[in-house]
Structure 1
Amino acid sequence: MNRKTISIISYLTIIGWVISFVVYHNGGRSSFAQYHLKQSFGLGVFGAILGVIFIPIIPVDPLFSTLFTILSVVTIIVLIFGIINAINQKRKPIPLIGLMFVDRFNFIKY
């Protein structure tokens, strides 16, 4: 796989991220792929945190259900922006939260 393919697949499910990570470490290393692996991992962590926070309290109040739905849709839109950036081979942070992930996740080394 080339760096573009690794970057695109990293945004597609947890299994896609793991496959991209393994291919990256087995010879597909590039700073471009590393950048998108970090962005997609951060987005996955963000989504997991949303689930942990909102899923237990959704039955309590319909307002939380609506807020969770809105945040989930925004997360999917941000995911699409990440995929588009990878397709266009741009090293651009995903909207809203991408800058938080640029210098994090040091286990993804180049």
Structure 2
Amino acid sequence: MQTQGAQEGKTMAIISYLTAIGLIISYVNNSEKKNSLVAYHIRQSLGIILLFIIVSIFLSAINFLVSIPFLGWILQLGTFVLWLLGILSAGKGLKEPVPLFGAYFQEWFKGI
């Protein structure tokens, strides 16, 4: 059986993946009650959101120059898979980095 704090940490970790608003809610809530699981998933979620923004900007720029069929679909599907893996890890209460970039997200955003 999980303690109330552990369950609340899992809940806030999951909320951090639910749009930028959820990320902000988790960040504000975690600034009051420090929870390492929540902080870990805030960093993962922030990285995934920024990666999605960068992919979107890249796709807009590349589509302006040349049209590459399915490139956008593949890159956005990859970002979605990272998001899904992150939220599943949060739901299990684990600190598993998302593939490829997760370790970098932890390093880059360690101040959070």
TM range (shorter): 0.7 to 0.9
Q: Structure 2 matches for 1:57-68, cutoff 5 A? A: 57-63=62-68, 65-68=69-72
Quick one: percent identity of the two aligned structures?
33
* Partner Cα distance (2:60, 2:18) in 1: 22
Q: TM-score, normalised by structure 1?
A: 0.87
Aligned to 1:45: 50
Bigger fraction of residues in helix: 2
Q: Structure 2 matches for 1:1-110, cutoff 5 A? A: 2-27=8-33, 29-63=34-68, 65-108=69-112
The count of residues paired between Structure 1 and Structure 2 equals: 106
Counterpart code for 1:55: S
Q: TM-score, normalised by structure 2?
A: 0.86
The Cα RMSD (Å) is 1.6
Tell me which stretches of 4 or more aligned residues in structure 1 moved more than 3 Å. none
Question: Post-superposition shift, 1:69?
Answer: 1.2
Question: Post-superposition shift, 1:60?
Answer: 3.6
Q: Show structure 2 runs of 5+ residues with no match.
A: 1-6
Counterpart code for 1:48: I
Counterpart code for 2:53: A
* Partner Cα distance (1:103, 1:2) in 2: 25
